[in-house]
Structure 1
Amino acid sequence: MKAHHDRIAIVTGAGSGIGAASAAALIADGWRVVYAGRRLAALQAAIAAAGDPWDDIAERALAVPTDVTQPDSVAALFDAAVRRFGRVDLLFNNAGVFTAGASPDKLPVEQWRAAVDTNLTGAFLCTQQAFRVMKAQDPRGGRIINNGSISAHAPRPGSVAYTATKHAITGLTRACALDGRAWDIAVGQIDIGNAATEMTAAMTAGVRQADGSLRPEPVMDLQHAADAVVHMARLPPDANVLFMTIMATKMPFVGRG
């Protein structure tokens, strides 16, 4: 077991799935973690499920209900983290939503806006606050990891909103990696494919393919994605993983379409 190192992480979308698993892995690695998400009960349950590897989970985890689409809510999240732990060393921009599968002409604009607001604007608002805090703290700097998804590279049928936002996350990553250099802020992106979560449970039953067929797809243990996030987070300030892809080995990504 590793020693405490007093680094502070904020994980959005931490109430379930990749966010909850990554937050738990960070705690096990010695981090203090702020769990952010819409539902307090889900955040508290995720903290409880993380276990108690250090015998002081109440001191190492903080639940902060947050709506990442709202600037005031995001600012309050970062203020709460600094108030409780003194600084922010890592932001994992993980919060995201899917839309119902539909072709562009069938997708309600409300669903498009919901995807853009959460997946893209939410990540921007959190990044904005991370820059504010990381530039001002002493020692300055930190790290931001964006959850891009395999859809940052290639779409699935009927995924116009999700795919567009995840392609945009790649632009956000590149631009902020450049802008962060002067302030010792490293920005990178992890693209995760077919990690086993509640949201991906249907993949083993059948997923719509580019040729219109329905086929089951392999999935990987969620812990592998969480461990990859921790690997990126643990790098020293002078090293950065700009882009990482981790996926189920046999998922139809290479050659998709």
Structure 2
Amino acid sequence: MPSKVVVITGASGGIGRACAIALSQAYPKDGQDLVLVLSGRREAELQATADACKQGTTVELVTGDVSNQADVDRMFETVRSKYGRVDVLFNNAGIDLLSATPIEDADMDKFRQVLNVNVMAAVLCTAAAVRVMKSQEPKGGRIINNGSISSSAPRPDSAAYTVSKHAVLGLTRSTSLDGRKYGITCTQLDIGNAQTDMAGYLSKGSRQADGSLRPEPVMDVKNVANSVVFIVGLPAEADVLHLEILASGMPFVGRG
């Protein structure tokens, strides 16, 4: 049985690292080995993720910026030439540079940077993955996009991040539709309040719609990782278009 090749962007910490570790622990499965291709900008942190994966897992580290076309092309050419296929792409890389910033006060260079990393990186990686997935044998594959509950319900003063995650939702639906003829599925994974460096402040106090500052429930990032393991392990006949995983009791429905 050929190895399952999984590409994870933003794997140098947070959700990406947790998912890489969980996947390494879940395989071999049903006689199938795993190849993890981990992408990130911070080489030392990327290596730390690899070191935390289960011993014996094949891990390929690709340092680079996935919002840069040349870096994306280099990564997928490395994967194609060394392993011959891509079974799963997890578009996980993302930033939030303008949290709690009203749009009228936003630094538009930072706004563009959020869109570039959160949207264009996913676009570039999706395009590259589809090229491989539709030409490999057997053809097909699975793409998972790290959305956010902000793709449907924004936080106050978070226009840049919210716009970017709404765009990711559009990418997910377009990829799901256009990938059908190639056996490519696409999942939007919308996460609410996972305990990471990026979202850890929420347990101390987050701005609410009424202007108050209140602590919010958070959940262990392992819950997100287990969700990714589930999606990656599905047979080709099954698709998950949209999955929301939230910290219990967090303000989301109605947003406070």
Q: TM-score, normalised by structure 2?
A: 0.94
Residue matched to 1:25: 22
Give deviations 1:191-235, integer Å, cap 9, x for gaps: 010111111121111011111100001111110000001111111
Find the aligned partners of 1:51 and 1:6 in 2 and give their Cα distance.
16
CA-CA distance at 1:5 after TM superposition? 6.5
Q: Which segments of structure 1 move beyond 3 Å, counting only runs of 4 or more? A: none
Find the aligned partners of 1:96 and 1:119 in 2 and give their Cα distance.
5
Find the aligned partners of 2:102 and 2:224 in 1 and give their Cα distance.
30
CA-CA distance at 1:90 after TM superposition? 0.1
Structure 2 counterpart SS, 1:24 = helix
Structure 1 counterpart SS, 2:199 = helix
Q: What is the Cα-based RMSD across aligned positions, in Å?
A: 1.2
Find the aligned partners of 1:16 and 1:8 in 2 and give their Cα distance.
20
Find the aligned partners of 1:33 and 1:18 in 2 and give their Cα distance.
15
Find the aligned partners of 2:199 and 2:69 in 1 and give their Cα distance.
29
In structure 1, give the amino acid aligned to 2:220.
Answer: D
Residue matched to 2:4: 7
Q: Does residue 38 in structure 1 map to residue 41 in structure 2?
A: yes
**5+ long unaligned stretches in structure 1:** none
Find the aligned partners of 1:74 and 1:96 in 2 and give their Cα distance.
15
Residue matched to 2:30: none
User: Contact between 1:34 and 1:64, CA under 8 Å: does it hold in 2?
Assistant: yes
Residue matched to 1:237: 236
User: Contact between 1:10 and 1:91, CA under 8 Å: does it hold in 2?
Assistant: yes
In structure 2, give the amino acid aligned to 1:159.
Answer: S
Structure 1 counterpart SS, 2:36 = strand
User: Contact between 1:152 and 1:170, CA under 8 Å: does it hold in 2?
Assistant: yes
User: Contact between 2:24 and 2:54, CA under 8 Å: does it hold in 1?
Assistant: no
After TM superposition, the structure 1 = structure 2 runs for residues 87-106 of structure 1, keeping only pairs within 5 Å, are 87-100=85-98, 101-106=100-105
Q: Does residue 180 in structure 1 map to residue 179 in structure 2?
A: yes
In structure 2, give the amino acid aligned to 1:184.
Answer: G
User: Contact between 2:141 and 2:185, CA under 8 Å: does it hold in 1?
Assistant: yes
User: Contact between 1:99 and 1:159, CA under 8 Å: does it hold in 2?
Assistant: no
Give deviations 1:145-202, integer Å, cap 9, x for gaps: 0000111111111110000010111110001100000001011110010111111121
Find the aligned partners of 2:11 and 2:157 in 1 and give their Cα distance.
26
CA-CA distance at 1:239 after TM superposition? 1.0
Structure 1 counterpart SS, 2:60 = strand
Find the aligned partners of 2:136 and 2:26 in 1 and give their Cα distance.
23
Find the aligned partners of 2:19 and 2:81 in 1 and give their Cα distance.
23
CA-CA distance at 1:241 after TM superposition? 0.3
Residue matched to 2:31: none
Q: What is the number of equivalent residue pairs in this alignment?
A: 249
Find the aligned partners of 2:139 and 2:21 in 1 and give their Cα distance.
25
Residue matched to 1:202: 201
CA-CA distance at 1:255 after TM superposition? 1.7
In structure 1, give the amino acid aligned to 2:205.
Answer: G
In structure 1, give the amino acid aligned to 2:175.
Answer: C
Residue matched to 1:146: 145
In structure 1, give the amino acid aligned to 2:200.
Answer: A
Give deviations 1:96-147, integer Å, cap 9, x for gaps: 0002221111001101110110000000000000001001111111000000
Find the aligned partners of 2:4 and 2:203 in 1 and give their Cα distance.
37
Residue matched to 1:192: 191
In structure 2, give the amino acid aligned to 1:95.
Answer: A
Residue matched to 2:156: 157
Find the aligned partners of 1:220 and 1:84 in 2 and give their Cα distance.
37
User: Contact between 1:12 and 1:37, CA under 8 Å: does it hold in 2?
Assistant: yes
Structure 1 counterpart SS, 2:85 = coil
Find the aligned partners of 2:135 and 2:2 in 1 and give their Cα distance.
21
Structure 1 counterpart SS, 2:11 = coil
